[in-house]
Amino acid sequence: MKQVCAPLSLLALILCILTGSLIAQKTLWTNLEKPIAEQIGKLRNLPDDTRARSTRDLALQVRQLPSGPNKLNLALGLAFLSTEGDFGKDTLQEVATTLAESLGPEAPKGKDPYLELASLARYEHVNVSHDSPPFRAAMERLEAEDRERQKLDFNLADLNGRSWTLKDLRGKVVLLNFWATWCPPCRKEMPDLETIYRRFAPAGLVILGISDEKTGTVKHFIEQQGVSYPVLLDSGSKINKLFQIDGIPKTFIYDREGKIVAQSIDMRTQKQFLSMLAQAGLK
């Protein structure tokens, strides 16, 4: 997912990405909505423990707003940010409940908020009480996408020119991480990925970062960060499109039989990565 909405404030950018338009620039907030919007826009500046409490409080505040497009946009913006790390199951549950209660009977234009809600239910394992046709369709779409991803294979070269083929890694635990240098959550999780790689590589873990940026951009960044796991170059975003990546970072965990056993829809912490790897039998 390339950033096509800059330069905007963080919240405006989030809403731009979610709605697929520049509507966020024209949003007229009420006196009740404006302070909530401003707080959502500042969430990334907060320490994780404070951010968790603030996210939960904001979810409750959004829930009390009158129904309408602004309420839905705020609920979506909050949901978009709430998966950037580990802010607790209770926090995610409040965010998902607020998003569910902000939805109308039909999906609005732009990025489908039902798909965001379905992603929280399927991949973050929160409870969603929303038995509507658009929500059921979103869940079915995610299930179909996962079935297709399980069949995929690819061959890509890393920064050193070595060729990597996914199916040839059977017998290893594989962590695929789609990322970009311009993505703050991607950058934030990379030190944890490096730590995990150094710890588990002798036990058969292969981490493959996949970027669709230019070679020089990626190489310079990787050298600065001191990343030692292989980073593959996806020229033309062919593999990103094959895996239907519409937001990054995105991570898939394959067990030694080549089965996808876990995936994330956003940034993960080291603790969360370890939990995902445990599902592949790596502890």
* Domains and their CATH numbers in the chain: 10-147 (no CATH), 155-278 (3.40.30.10)
DSSP letters, 122-151, are HHS--------HHHHHHHHHHHHHHHHHHT
Q: Looking at residue 132, what is its pLDDT?
A: 87
> In the structure encoding, which two tokens stand for residue 43, read together?
């969430």
CA distances from 67 to 63, 81, 113 (A): 9, 21, 15
pLDDT 10s digits, 121-139? 999 999 998 888 889 999 9
16 has pLDDT over 90: no
66-70, 95-99, 110-114, 224-228: which has the minimum mean pLDDT? 110-114
Q: DSSP character for 66?
A: P
pLDDT 10s digits, 191-201? 999 999 999 99
CA 5 to chain centre: 18
